[in-house]
Amino acid sequence: MSGERMDHTTRPSPDALLRQAGREERGRLKIFLGAAPGVGKTFEMLQTAQAKRREGTDIVAGVVETHGRRETEALMDGLEVIPRRRTDYTNRGLDEMDLDAILARRPRIVLVDELAHTNAPGSRHAKRWLDVEELLAAGIDVYTTLNIQHVESLNDVVAKITRVRVRETVPDSIIDRADDIELIDLTPEDLIQRLKDGKIYLPRTAERAIRHYFSPGNLTALRELALRRTAERVDDQLLTHMQAHAIAGPWAAGERLLVCINEDPSGGALVRYARRQAERLRARWSAVHVETSRSLRLSEAERDRIADTLRLVERLGGEAVTIPGRDVADGVVDYARANNVTHIVIAKSRRTYWSELLHGSVSHNLIRRAGGISVHVIAADPSDPVPAKTVRTAPAHARRLSGWPYAAATACVAVAAVLGHGLRLWLDLNNIALVFLTAVLVSAVTGGLGPSLYASIISVLAFNFFFLPPLYTFTISDPENIVALFFFAVVALIASNLTARVRAQAVTARQRTKTAEDLYQFSRKLAGVITMDDLLWATAYQIAAMLKVRVVLLMPDGGSVAVRAGYPPEDEIDAADLAAAVWAWQNNRPAGRGAETLPGAKWLFLPMRTGRGPVGLVGIDTGRPGTLLTPDQRRLLDALTDQAALAIERVTLAEDVDRARLAAETERLRSALLTSISHDLRTPLASILGSATSLTSYGPLLGEEGRRDLAATIQEEAERLNRFIANLLDMTRLESGALQPRRDPVDLGEVVGSALERTRRILAGHTVGIELAPGLPMARLDPVLFEQVLFNLLDNAAKYAHPGSTVTVRAWAADGCVRLEIMDEGDGLPPQDLERIFDKFYRVQAGDRQRAGTGLGLAICRGFMEAMGGTITAGNRTDRSGAVFTLTLPEAPLPPTLETAAS
């Protein structure tokens, strides 16, 4: 046995070899990882690149950000730089890495700085790490830099430490696939000193950074995160190397702890001890259960205990593994060496001395064979077990005894007797015994243990009756034949027993493989579900299909629960069952049929739990009297509900994030609306109130011109207030979906003239230029809405154009559309605001020249234009300063009579 075990442990791991082979087909990725900006990642990357260049390696710079640091720029000397690709976005030019140029150049190594960078819109990939993946797939090695705060799995942790949420992240899979990670480490004191010396940011920015992000506590925490993440990746690389080269562990470069699980009641205490020990060692930990031939003889209660213990391991953050094996100690040691385990935890045996002498001791064998692995044998307390199940289960119905396997065994023996009788003239008596032994093996494979034992007995009798002299009697005259018959019987019994056992293991393995495949497909299905309804329906169907039961799924609804899905879909529960469901939800315990609480109910309700608590209930019913589930079915149901609960929590968290984002947006809009209303209602009302009070109190004392000015002020401010209320009402119509525009052929000149008439008072201080192309076709639009769009745009131009300047309205036809431009001669729009100006309540910051307004006018313009099937864009004039708004509408087809006349 030891020789076989040595052969097994010295054989390389196929998975590790496949991982290495996959990496050889692609480029190598090296990541220079830092805890914070400024630690010197780019500097170190360039130093390594210069060393490679001096060695004759073909290396180029795809994108390197020196940030104006002289010592970093000096390291670029001599390196070939691939020119960046220019991308135009919102009238701005952005420089991005030219991926196609690098692929065409095909260097051996390319430098790609800032792995978490987001590419400009219109690029082939949205993120730079996707560009890197394409380079690696093409066989090009990549050197890149990354800060620890950009790692996806650490995003929340970093946000809690620094109170800054990093938006640009890189998936952990990129780091896991990296061939090399070089940690660029710098103490917080040295980094802060570099910051003060101006080597990272400008002095004013550096002072603000030191007060907030670059505090000593933040940097220490980020440094620990970087060290730990690098250590985890190095540990994985070490394990892969050991498995690929069949190196017998452990190499104690890092601590790993393994706890051995069996059916003993002390399993819960053992797991909790292992968890505490792993925390003290700051080590990864896992649990292993070795399935041997003895496992088939365990009772259902013992199997339940093992399953519950492994579930406890996963709840406490460990990895639960079940492996097959002939010997428990050999299986544990082989697994420990293959996974570089340094500590094994096992419970002290509670067998008697004579039992250990006869059957052996797993702990003693483990200590003897562990080699350099430390073995912790603890006296676990069986009074602290895993909580027992609170739902009664019944053993699976035994298969009815059938005579067909025994008839088949009889036929096999009869065939063997006929063959033996035909072969006796050419074969020796001992060889004929092998024919009967074959019949025994066939019976064991096809029928199992009972038919094989039956075939063994009748084979012995048939062999004696037909082939041992004196023939056709059960008497044996030759003593040698007695010995031969005895050993034939022993071999037949042993062979039938072993073959039947292998058959049982194969049947069990097929069943478990089928179950594992179903669970895997279920997990894939859940991973692709994004809505709660789809998730619940998929879960109900899967449970019903695998357990052959009726299923309902209930979710919290206020202080109670309500049915959200079921299979078959028409299933309903009555008031008594609903009461059991409510009790199960409120107490987080099973209730209903077969449970300790309300066992008279028709349905059984089980909570679906995650680490955060219960997320829902699953109810099952078979429609038949008796116990609902067998122990195997209960374990399968636990696995299904665990997966479903995690998926429900995932969808719920996603919905919570959406609700929080919506609430934040609503709060922002509410604050903006209140701010706008407080200003844009109070200002005209104050003017109206002041003018009206003056007319009332001093009217007779004022001249005709004074009274006329006050009345004009009241009218002007009332119109301003009316426009503000109209904008609010229009935005409400847009957001509620109540807007139903007409799409009629309309002469654009008429609508422009009407809008200019409405804005005559507003544009009184400006010159208005009109340039409508002759023969301008009619456009498909709603004249009322389009007039309001023009009014808002002209009002906006009057606010921001310089007094006495010209506001131009120009229209022409092109490409089946009618385009209209409104241009002013103001200061223009900041490039970064060309899209944001159409957001609700957003207003361009213009310093001391800020104009009154709500920030709704342009948002209403875009909403109206889109409702009419048109578009609106903003830009700046090219001939002089000023803003230009371009409206595009579909050209209206000519009526049939006009088409005929035109032809």
Do 792 and 861 contact (CB within 8 A), yes or no? yes
At 249 the pLDDT is 52
At 102 the pLDDT is 92
The 10s digit of each residue's pLDDT in 221-268 is: 666 666 666 666 665 555 555 555 555 555 444 678 999 988 888 888
Token pair, residue 271, equals 């797991």
- Helix or strand (DSSP H, E) at 806: strand 806-814
Averaged pLDDT, 590-616? 83
Instruction: Say how far apart CA 648 and CA 573 lie, in whole Å.
Output: 22
At 398 the pLDDT is 44
At 107 the pLDDT is 92
Backbone angles phi, psi at 540, to 5 degrees: -60, -45
Range from 193-202, 291-300, 322-331, 871-880 carrying the lowest mean pLDDT: 193-202
How far is C-alpha 185 from the geometric centre of its chain's CA atoms? 30
At 850 the pLDDT is 46
At 144 the pLDDT is 92
The 10s digit of each residue's pLDDT in 609-666 is: 886 778 899 999 887 777 777 767 777 888 888 888 888 888 888 777 777 777 766 6
Do 610 and 633 contact (CB within 8 A), yes or no? no
Mean pLDDT taken over the chain = 77
At 114 the pLDDT is 87
Token pair, residue 375, equals 């073995």
Backbone angles phi, psi at 809, to 5 degrees: -115, 120
The 10s digit of each residue's pLDDT in 548-590 is: 889 999 998 877 888 888 888 766 788 888 888 888 888 888 8
Task: Enumerate long-range contacts of 705-714, CB under 8 Å, 24 or more apart.
Answer: 713/687, 713/688, 714/687, 714/688
Backbone angles phi, psi at 711, to 5 degrees: -65, -40
Q: Best-predicted range by mean pLDDT among 130-144, 479-493, 602-616, 754-768?
A: 130-144
Q: What is the separation, in whole angstroms, between the first and last Cα of the chain?
A: 99
At 322 the pLDDT is 83
Tokens 């329906």, residue located? 537
User: Checking DSSP bridges between strand 604-610 and strand 591-592, what pairing results, if any?
Assistant: antiparallel
At 884 the pLDDT is 92
More confident residue, 205 or 428: 428
| Burial degree of 567 (CB within 10 A; 0-12, 13-18, 19+) | buried
Give the number of other Cβ atoms within 10 Å of residue 854's Cβ: 23
The 10s digit of each residue's pLDDT in 74-90 is: 888 888 999 988 876 66
Side-chain-side CA neighbours of residue 831 (13 Å): 7
Q: Which amino acid is present at 495?
A: A
Examine the pLDDT at 196 and tell me if it is beyond 60.
Answer: yes
822 — pLDDT class (breaks 50, 70, 90): very high
Q: Look at the chain and count its residues.
A: 903
Examine the pLDDT at 108 and tell me if it is beyond 90.
Answer: yes
Token pair, residue 359, equals 């059957």
Examine the pLDDT at 326 and tell me if it is beyond 60.
Answer: yes
Rounded to the nearest 5 degrees, what angle is found at the Cα of 721, between the Cα atoms of 717 and 723? Answer: 115
